[in-house]
Structure formats: structure tokens, C-alpha cells
Amino acid sequence: MTDIRSSGDLGGQIAAEPGFSDFVQLLKPRVMSLVVFTALAGMIAAPVHLPPVAFFTAILFIALGAGASGALNMWWDADIDALMKRTARRPIPAGMIAPGEALGFGMALSVASVIMLWLATNWVAAALLAFTIFFYVVVYSMGLKRLTPQNIVIGGAAGAFPPMVGWAAMTGSVSVESFLMFALIFMWTPPHFWALALFMKEDYSNAGVPMLTVTHGRKSTRRHILVYTVLMVPVALALAFTPVGGPVYLTAAIVMNAGFVWGAWRIVRRDETMAEADRYKVEKKVFSFSLLYLFVLFGAILVEAGLHSFGYGAL
């Protein structure tokens, strides 16, 4: 496999002047939006407050740190991104940005985001952000992703840190509440990505990525989805009985976890004789529901924070 990070062979000419939108895409804006949302929940749920300027500066540089991770991930994964339908139109394999530009851009944003978060808040939040970037780029992208089918299980920690970073930005510490928010995303990540991998299996196979669907097959992956979904339930419910939880969150957690477990059960029990398109519909529905799941639960944390500020919501 030709490594386009060094060869420059991107299957097309590099644009003379990459556009603003190309650099925005390099930041993985969809992933960044999820990072911002969960980090924001951690910040608002925290028991202390920052001045408005410091607050908005903190969320800005947490977002840029997430974007830096995305840029560095795209630089490292440019060779396999070019082989997968889902990622072939990303800026580097599409020939819009040179690999060296992406590397420099990602490194500059990484350093700036960590330093500025430190100056705006505290060293604990900055250290957690630096570790998050390191974990996503070095441990997951460079290490685990191409070596083991457990890549997304261990590597999922990178996407789970934002609420902990947000909490630390407000309090200068970590806590049971921030750890449980971390644990919720950590447990959510494998069934979320495995549901995606079930209907994108050929992409990972073509790129030589040892996703569970490639190494163990779809049947084993479906069982893993159910197991991790069930294990996620007590973590999600535990948050309801901490100071960041309450009846709104508990209700949301019960409903959304019931829906997620039901979807995972449908994947495990689906008829193998079904047409491929029908099987993929089930898996796509679970993948889509998993996105809604995280949005609803962290949205409920934000609602509880608002209620708590008026003296309501505690269980």
C-alpha cells in the first residue's frame, strides 16, 4: 500500500490554494459538534461557574483541540481514507489539502488549544485536553486502529474525555460525576461504531482495518453490540443518582436505554435469511438511535443543571 502521507500520491492534483471549507472539513466538524455538546454539558453541570469570557474561551479551545485531533487523524489515516467510500472525499485523499499542510495545521491547533485552555482556566483541564489529543492520535490512530479488533473499545476513551475536560475547566478537578459522564460515552462508543461497521464492513475490509466485523464476522459483532449495550445501562442510570442527575435525567435514561437494548436485541435476533438491504436497515436504525441516545442523555444533564439552579430536580 502506498503511503500518501509521504508520497504525495493523492489520486489527483493538490489544489493550489485550499479553501476555508477544506480546512473546516479537516477538523471533522460533525465529531467536533458532539465534543462541544458533551463538554458543554460537563461545564454547565459543574457546581461552580466561570466568568462568561473564560467560559466561552474554554469551550472554544476544547472545540479546537477536538478539531486538531481530527486533522492529525486525517493526516495519519490518509492512505486508508482513500480506500473507503465513506472517507474518500475527505480533504487529503480528495487532493484538496497536502498531507504536510494537514500535519502542520493539526500540530499548531493542538499546541494553541492546550496553552490557551490553560491560560483561560487551569492546568488540569489543559493536561486532560493534551492527553485526549495524544490518546486519539497516537494511541488510537497510530497504534490500536490498525492492530487489533479492540481498537474502538480502548480507543473510545478519546471521545469520552470531553465532559471530563469541561468539568475540569470549571472546577480544576475530576469527580465521580465527570468520571461517570466519561464512562457513559466510553461504553456507548463500541456499540455505536460496531453498528456502523456492520453496514460498512466492506470499507474496513478493503482498507485492511481489523474492525470486529472483519476479524470476527457480523454475527460475533452483533453479540458484542448487545453485551456492551447491556453493560452501558447501569452506567447511564448511575448518573441519575449523582448531583448532576434527577428525575428528568432518570426518565430519559430509562426510556433511551430501553430503546437501545431493544435495538441491539433486534440486531442479534434478526433473520439471517433477510435480504441484505433489509438487514442493513435494522443496523442503520440502531446506529441512528445511538446518536439520538447520546444527545438526549446529555441534553437531560443540561436540563437538570437548569432545574438545579432554581432548586428543582434532585432525586
> Are 162 and 29 contained in the same domain?
yes
Same-domain status, 135 and 227? no
pLDDT tens digits along 46-70: 999 899 999 999 999 999 999 999 9
Q: Are residues 97 and 218 in the same domain?
A: no
Residues 154-203 pLDDT 10s: 888 999 999 999 999 999 999 999 999 999 999 999 999 999 888 777 77
Closest CA to 228 of 154, 301, 162, 295: 154
In a domain, 3, yes or no: no
Place of cell 440502531: 286
- List the Cα angle 46/291/42 in 5-degree steps: 5
Q: Are 66 and 131 part of one and the same domain?
A: yes
Is 154 part of a structural domain of the chain?
yes
290 shares a domain with 200: yes
Count Cβ atoms below 10 Å from residue 60 Cβ, excluding itself: 15
Q: What pLDDT is recorded for position 203?
A: 78
How many separate domains does the chain show?
2
Are residues 138 and 282 both part of a single domain?
Answer: no
Instruction: Tell me which residue range forms the domain holding 262.
Output: 175-315
- Do 242 and 150 lie in one domain? The reply is no
Q: What is the mean pLDDT of residues 23-39?
A: 92
Q: Tell me the average pLDDT across 30-40.
A: 93
Q: What is the CATH number of the domain that holds 54?
A: 1.10.357.140
Q: Which of 141, 158, 173 is the last residue of a domain?
A: 173
pLDDT for position 71: 96
In this prediction, residue 126 carries a pLDDT of 98
Residue type, 279: R
Residues near 289 by beta carbon (within 8 Å), at least 6 away in sequence: 259, 260, 263
> Is 103 among the domain residues?
yes
User: Whose CA is closest to 9, among 110, 92, 127?
Assistant: 92
Point out the domain boundary residue: 173, 192, 223.
173
CA 165 to chain centre: 14
CA–CA separation, 207 vs 90, rounded Å? 15
DSSP for 158-213, written as a single string: HHH-HHHHHHHHHHSS--HHHHHHHHHHHHHHHHHHHHHHHHSHHHHHHHT---HH
182-186, 191-195, 265-269, 310-314, range with the lowest pLDDT: 310-314
**180 and 242 in contact (C-beta within 8 Å)?**
yes
Give me the torsion for CA of 101, 106, 112, 118, rounded to 10°.
-170
Let me know if residue 1 belongs to a domain.
no
Q: Are 78 and 113 in a shared domain?
A: yes
Tell me the average pLDDT of the chain. Answer: 89
Dihedral sign for Cα atoms in the order 102, 105, 108, 112 = negative
CA pair distance 224, 192, nearest whole angstrom: 11
pLDDT digits (tens, 9 = 90+) for 205-237: 888 888 888 888 888 999 999 999 999 999 999
The residue out of 173, 199, 217 marking a domain boundary is 173
Query: What does the pLDDT read at residue 277?
Result: 60
The answer as to whether 4 is a domain residue is no
Q: Are 57 and 139 in contact (CB under 8 A)?
A: no
Same domain, 115 and 46: yes
Residues 6+ apart with CB under 8 A from 70: 26, 27, 28, 31, 32, 106
pLDDT of 10 higher than 60: no
Quick check: 120 pLDDT over 80?
A: yes
CA distance readout (Å), 14 to 21, 66, 148, 315: 15, 25, 33, 57
Cell of 256: 433511551
